[in-house]
Protein backbone atom coordinates (compact mmCIF):
# COMPACT_ATOMS: atom_id res chain seq x y z
CA UNK A 1 0.00 0.00 0.00
CA UNK A 2 1.48 3.30 -1.05
CA UNK A 3 1.26 6.55 0.86
CA UNK A 4 -1.44 8.84 -0.58
CA UNK A 5 -0.19 12.06 -2.11
CA UNK A 6 -1.57 15.37 -0.94
CA UNK A 7 -2.33 16.30 -4.58
CA UNK A 8 -4.95 13.51 -4.85
CA UNK A 9 -7.35 15.32 -2.51
CA UNK A 10 -10.93 15.44 -3.74
CA UNK A 11 -12.50 16.96 -0.60
CA UNK A 12 -12.06 20.08 1.40
CA UNK A 13 -12.74 19.39 5.07
CA UNK A 14 -13.60 22.13 7.54
CA UNK A 15 -14.00 21.81 11.29
CA UNK A 16 -17.00 23.86 12.40
CA UNK A 17 -16.55 25.68 15.73
CA UNK A 18 -19.21 26.99 18.12
CA UNK A 19 -21.08 23.69 18.35
CA UNK A 20 -18.65 22.05 20.76
CA UNK A 21 -16.50 23.50 23.52
CA UNK A 22 -13.24 25.22 22.64
CA UNK A 23 -10.85 22.28 22.87
CA UNK A 24 -7.79 24.44 22.29
CA UNK A 25 -8.68 26.65 25.23
CA UNK A 26 -9.36 23.63 27.42
CA UNK A 27 -6.03 22.07 26.43
CA UNK A 28 -4.14 25.22 27.31
CA UNK A 29 -5.55 25.17 30.83
CA UNK A 30 -5.45 21.41 31.50
CA UNK A 31 -2.68 19.99 33.74
CA UNK A 32 -1.05 17.88 30.98
CA UNK A 33 -2.16 20.14 28.11
CA UNK A 34 -4.41 17.31 27.00
CA UNK A 35 -8.18 17.07 26.54
CA UNK A 36 -10.23 14.57 28.51
CA UNK A 37 -13.75 13.41 27.70
CA UNK A 38 -16.11 16.32 28.34
CA UNK A 39 -19.59 16.15 29.91
CA UNK A 40 -22.16 15.55 27.17
CA UNK A 41 -19.15 15.14 24.84
CA UNK A 42 -18.62 18.88 24.90
CA UNK A 43 -21.80 19.87 23.06
CA UNK A 44 -22.79 23.51 23.65
CA UNK A 45 -26.46 23.92 24.56
CA UNK A 46 -27.86 26.50 22.13
CA UNK A 47 -31.00 27.24 20.10
CA UNK A 48 -31.43 26.26 16.44
CA UNK A 49 -33.80 27.65 13.84
CA UNK A 50 -35.21 24.45 12.30
CA UNK A 51 -38.98 23.91 12.63
CA UNK A 52 -38.30 20.76 14.65
CA UNK A 53 -36.42 22.87 17.19
CA UNK A 54 -38.92 25.72 17.47
CA UNK A 55 -42.03 23.65 18.21
CA UNK A 56 -43.51 23.90 21.73
CA UNK A 57 -42.13 20.52 22.83
CA UNK A 58 -38.59 21.39 21.69
CA UNK A 59 -37.80 22.98 25.04
CA UNK A 60 -38.23 19.58 26.67
CA UNK A 61 -35.73 17.91 24.36
CA UNK A 62 -32.13 17.29 25.32
CA UNK A 63 -29.42 19.44 23.70
CA UNK A 64 -28.15 16.44 21.73
CA UNK A 65 -31.66 15.74 20.41
CA UNK A 66 -31.98 19.30 19.14
CA UNK A 67 -28.46 19.26 17.71
CA UNK A 68 -29.17 15.97 15.92
CA UNK A 69 -32.31 17.43 14.37
CA UNK A 70 -30.29 20.47 13.30
CA UNK A 71 -27.55 18.45 11.60
CA UNK A 72 -30.05 16.19 9.86
CA UNK A 73 -31.86 19.26 8.53
CA UNK A 74 -28.61 20.87 7.40
CA UNK A 75 -27.66 17.69 5.52
CA UNK A 76 -31.07 17.57 3.82
CA UNK A 77 -30.72 21.17 2.65
CA UNK A 78 -27.06 21.00 1.59
CA UNK A 79 -25.89 20.79 -2.04
CA UNK A 80 -25.12 17.30 -3.32
CA UNK A 81 -21.39 17.87 -2.95
CA UNK A 82 -21.54 18.94 0.71
CA UNK A 83 -21.99 16.63 3.71
CA UNK A 84 -21.80 17.20 7.45
CA UNK A 85 -20.67 14.46 9.81
CA UNK A 86 -20.07 14.28 13.54
CA UNK A 87 -16.84 12.44 14.25
CA UNK A 88 -16.39 10.71 17.59
CA UNK A 89 -12.61 10.45 17.92
CA UNK A 90 -11.46 8.07 20.65
CA UNK A 91 -7.84 7.79 21.68
CA UNK A 92 -6.83 4.31 22.86
CA UNK A 93 -6.20 3.62 26.54
CA UNK A 94 -2.75 3.75 28.09
CA UNK A 95 -0.33 1.40 26.32
CA UNK A 96 2.71 -0.44 27.64
CA UNK A 97 4.89 1.72 25.38
CA UNK A 98 3.50 4.90 26.94
CA UNK A 99 4.44 3.67 30.42
CA UNK A 100 7.92 2.46 29.45
CA UNK A 101 8.74 5.74 27.71
CA UNK A 102 7.63 7.61 30.81
CA UNK A 103 9.91 5.45 32.96
CA UNK A 104 13.10 5.73 30.87
CA UNK A 105 12.57 9.23 29.49
CA UNK A 106 11.84 10.37 25.95
CA UNK A 107 15.47 10.63 24.84
CA UNK A 108 16.38 7.09 25.91
CA UNK A 109 13.13 5.80 24.43
CA UNK A 110 13.59 7.47 21.05
CA UNK A 111 17.29 6.69 20.73
CA UNK A 112 17.37 3.11 21.97
CA UNK A 113 14.45 1.31 23.56
CA UNK A 114 11.81 2.14 20.93
CA UNK A 115 13.81 0.19 18.31
CA UNK A 116 13.67 -3.05 20.33
CA UNK A 117 10.83 -5.51 20.75
CA UNK A 118 10.93 -5.12 24.53
CA UNK A 119 13.20 -5.24 27.56
CA UNK A 120 12.87 -8.97 28.20
CA UNK A 121 9.90 -8.56 30.53
CA UNK A 122 7.70 -6.01 28.80
CA UNK A 123 7.11 -6.26 25.04
CA UNK A 124 5.81 -3.36 23.00
CA UNK A 125 5.76 -4.53 19.37
CA UNK A 126 2.20 -3.56 18.37
CA UNK A 127 1.87 -2.31 21.95
CA UNK A 128 -1.02 -3.65 24.04
CA UNK A 129 -3.02 -1.87 26.73
CA UNK A 130 -1.83 -1.80 30.33
CA UNK A 131 -4.21 -2.63 33.16
CA UNK A 132 -4.72 1.10 33.60
CA UNK A 133 -5.46 1.39 29.88
CA UNK A 134 -8.06 -1.35 30.14
CA UNK A 135 -9.68 0.41 33.09
CA UNK A 136 -9.71 3.70 31.15
CA UNK A 137 -11.46 2.06 28.21
CA UNK A 138 -13.99 0.32 30.44
CA UNK A 139 -14.77 3.59 32.21
CA UNK A 140 -15.19 5.29 28.85
CA UNK A 141 -17.56 2.52 27.82
CA UNK A 142 -19.75 3.28 30.84
CA UNK A 143 -19.58 6.99 30.02
CA UNK A 144 -20.90 6.19 26.55
CA UNK A 145 -23.77 4.10 27.91
CA UNK A 146 -24.78 6.97 30.20
CA UNK A 147 -24.33 9.54 27.42
CA UNK A 148 -26.60 7.65 25.03
CA UNK A 149 -29.16 6.78 27.72
CA UNK A 150 -29.32 10.06 29.61
CA UNK A 151 -28.02 12.76 27.26
CA UNK A 152 -29.43 11.13 24.09
CA UNK A 153 -26.09 11.24 22.29
CA UNK A 154 -26.63 9.37 19.00
CA UNK A 155 -25.07 5.94 18.78
CA UNK A 156 -22.23 5.68 16.29
CA UNK A 157 -23.68 4.55 12.99
CA UNK A 158 -20.28 3.17 11.97
CA UNK A 159 -17.23 2.11 13.94
CA UNK A 160 -13.78 2.43 12.40
CA UNK A 161 -10.54 1.47 14.09
CA UNK A 162 -6.80 1.56 13.59
CA UNK A 163 -5.37 -1.94 13.07
CA UNK A 164 -2.96 -1.55 16.00
CA UNK A 165 -3.79 -3.77 18.97
CA UNK A 166 -4.28 -0.96 21.47
CA UNK A 167 -7.05 0.54 19.30
CA UNK A 168 -8.67 -2.81 18.47
CA UNK A 169 -9.01 -3.59 22.18
CA UNK A 170 -10.11 -0.07 23.12
CA UNK A 171 -12.86 -0.29 20.50
CA UNK A 172 -14.08 -3.56 22.00
CA UNK A 173 -14.03 -2.31 25.59
CA UNK A 174 -15.69 1.01 24.81
CA UNK A 175 -18.33 0.10 22.24
CA UNK A 176 -19.22 -3.62 22.30
CA UNK A 177 -21.36 -3.45 25.45
CA UNK A 178 -22.90 -0.15 24.32
CA UNK A 179 -23.97 -1.50 20.95
CA UNK A 180 -25.21 -4.73 22.50
CA UNK A 181 -27.34 -2.88 25.05
CA UNK A 182 -29.14 -1.06 22.24
CA UNK A 183 -29.33 -4.20 20.09
CA UNK A 184 -27.11 -2.76 17.42
CA UNK A 185 -24.52 -4.84 15.59
CA UNK A 186 -20.99 -4.47 16.92
CA UNK A 187 -18.91 -4.84 13.78
CA UNK A 188 -16.03 -2.35 13.59
CA UNK A 189 -14.16 -1.90 10.32
CA UNK A 190 -10.37 -2.11 10.50
CA UNK A 191 -8.71 0.50 8.29
CA UNK A 192 -4.99 0.33 7.61
CA UNK A 193 -4.51 4.05 7.08
CA UNK A 194 -6.05 5.01 10.44
CA UNK A 195 -2.95 3.88 12.31
CA UNK A 196 -0.52 6.09 14.18
CA UNK A 197 2.13 8.16 12.44
CA UNK A 198 4.68 5.72 11.06
CA UNK A 199 8.05 5.80 12.78
CA UNK A 200 10.87 3.30 13.30
CA UNK A 201 9.40 2.51 16.73
CA UNK A 202 8.31 -1.12 16.98
CA UNK A 203 5.22 -0.13 18.97
CA UNK A 204 3.81 1.21 15.67
CA UNK A 205 4.29 -2.06 13.76
CA UNK A 206 0.99 -3.91 13.49
CA UNK A 207 0.31 -7.60 13.96
CA UNK A 208 -0.60 -9.89 11.09
CA UNK A 209 -4.04 -10.04 9.55
CA UNK A 210 -4.32 -13.62 10.86
CA UNK A 211 -3.69 -12.40 14.43
CA UNK A 212 -6.33 -9.67 14.11
CA UNK A 213 -8.91 -12.08 12.67
CA UNK A 214 -8.17 -14.62 15.41
CA UNK A 215 -8.45 -12.16 18.32
CA UNK A 216 -11.27 -10.00 16.92
CA UNK A 217 -13.41 -12.33 14.79
CA UNK A 218 -16.45 -10.02 14.66
CA UNK A 219 -14.42 -7.15 13.18
CA UNK A 220 -14.56 -6.46 9.45
CA UNK A 221 -11.27 -5.90 7.63
CA UNK A 222 -11.21 -3.58 4.64
CA UNK A 223 -10.38 -4.95 1.17
CA UNK A 224 -6.70 -5.02 0.27
CA UNK A 225 -5.55 -5.44 3.88
CA UNK A 226 -2.29 -7.42 3.70
CA UNK A 227 -1.25 -10.32 5.91
CA UNK A 228 1.95 -8.61 7.04
CA UNK A 229 2.56 -4.95 7.78
CA UNK A 230 3.74 -3.35 4.53
CA UNK A 231 3.79 0.22 5.82
CA UNK A 232 6.10 0.02 8.84
CA UNK A 233 9.83 0.19 8.13
CA UNK A 234 12.61 -0.24 10.71
CA UNK A 235 14.54 2.65 9.15
CA UNK A 236 11.84 5.05 8.01
CA UNK A 237 9.75 7.90 9.35
CA UNK A 238 6.58 9.28 7.87
CA UNK A 239 6.62 13.06 7.58
CA UNK A 240 3.87 15.08 9.25
CA UNK A 241 2.61 16.06 5.79
CA UNK A 242 2.42 12.40 4.68
CA UNK A 243 0.52 11.56 7.84
CA UNK A 244 -2.01 14.34 7.21
CA UNK A 245 -2.41 13.17 3.60
CA UNK A 246 -3.02 9.62 4.82
CA UNK A 247 -5.78 10.75 7.16
CA UNK A 248 -7.20 13.01 4.45
CA UNK A 249 -7.58 9.86 2.34
CA UNK A 250 -9.37 8.05 5.19
CA UNK A 251 -11.80 10.94 5.62
CA UNK A 252 -12.46 11.02 1.88
CA UNK A 253 -13.24 7.31 1.86
CA UNK A 254 -15.66 7.73 4.77
CA UNK A 255 -17.39 10.78 3.29
CA UNK A 256 -17.62 9.05 -0.10
CA UNK A 257 -18.93 5.66 1.00
CA UNK A 258 -20.47 5.97 4.48
CA UNK A 259 -23.97 7.46 4.51
CA UNK A 260 -24.06 7.75 8.31
CA UNK A 261 -23.83 11.08 10.08
CA UNK A 262 -22.39 9.97 13.43
CA UNK A 263 -19.10 8.17 12.92
CA UNK A 264 -16.69 6.67 15.47
CA UNK A 265 -12.94 6.39 14.88
CA UNK A 266 -10.65 4.68 17.40
CA UNK A 267 -7.22 6.14 16.80
CA UNK A 268 -4.00 7.53 18.27
CA UNK A 269 -2.71 10.82 19.64
CA UNK A 270 -0.89 11.95 16.51
CA UNK A 271 -3.61 10.51 14.28
CA UNK A 272 -6.09 12.86 15.96
CA UNK A 273 -3.67 15.72 15.32
CA UNK A 274 -3.44 14.72 11.64
CA UNK A 275 -7.24 14.57 11.31
CA UNK A 276 -7.49 18.05 12.83
CA UNK A 277 -4.90 19.38 10.37
CA UNK A 278 -6.74 17.71 7.47
CA UNK A 279 -9.76 19.74 8.58
CA UNK A 280 -7.76 22.97 8.55
CA UNK A 281 -7.62 23.16 12.33
CA UNK A 282 -4.83 23.79 14.81
CA UNK A 283 -4.02 20.56 16.59
CA UNK A 284 -4.33 19.73 20.27
CA UNK A 285 -3.61 16.64 22.34
CA UNK A 286 -6.13 14.16 23.75
CA UNK A 287 -5.62 12.03 26.88
CA UNK A 288 -5.51 8.25 26.72
CA UNK A 289 -8.95 6.62 26.95
CA UNK A 290 -10.86 9.78 25.97
CA UNK A 291 -13.43 10.66 23.29
CA UNK A 292 -13.92 14.04 21.65
CA UNK A 293 -16.71 15.02 19.23
CA UNK A 294 -16.19 17.21 16.16
CA UNK A 295 -18.56 18.56 13.52
CA UNK A 296 -16.89 18.36 10.11
CA UNK A 297 -18.09 19.76 6.79
CA UNK A 298 -16.90 17.87 3.74
CA UNK A 299 -17.12 19.54 0.33
CA UNK A 300 -16.33 17.49 -2.76
CA UNK A 301 -14.22 19.65 -5.07
Instruction: Return the active site residues.
Output: 92, 196
Question: Strands 158-161, 285-286: parallel, antiparallel or unpaired by DSSP?
Answer: unpaired
Q: Which residues contact 124 (CB under 8 A, 6 or more apart)?
A: 95, 96, 97, 100, 117, 118, 202, 203
Contact 107, 101 (CB under 8 A): no
| Helical spans, DSSP H, in 157-207 | 165-181
- Burial degree of 157 (CB within 10 A; 0-12, 13-18, 19+): middle
Q: Dihedral of the CA atoms 114, 120, 122, 127 (nearest 10)? A: 50
Q: Which residues contact 38 (CB under 8 A, 6 or more apart)?
A: 21, 26, 292
Q: Which residues contact 210 (CB under 8 A, 6 or more apart)?
A: 227
Residue 10 CA to residue 251 CA, distance in Å, equals 10
Sign of CA dihedral 9, 190, 137, 239: negative
Amino acid sequence: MEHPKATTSHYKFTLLPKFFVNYHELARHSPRLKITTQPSLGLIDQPYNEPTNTQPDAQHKKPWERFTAHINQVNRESPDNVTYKVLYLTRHGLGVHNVFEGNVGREAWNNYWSHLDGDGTVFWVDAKLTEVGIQQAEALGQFWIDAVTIDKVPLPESLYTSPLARCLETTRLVFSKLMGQFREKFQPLVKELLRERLTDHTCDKRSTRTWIEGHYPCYLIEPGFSEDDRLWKPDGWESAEEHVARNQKVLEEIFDHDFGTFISLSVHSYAISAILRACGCEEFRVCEGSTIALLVRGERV
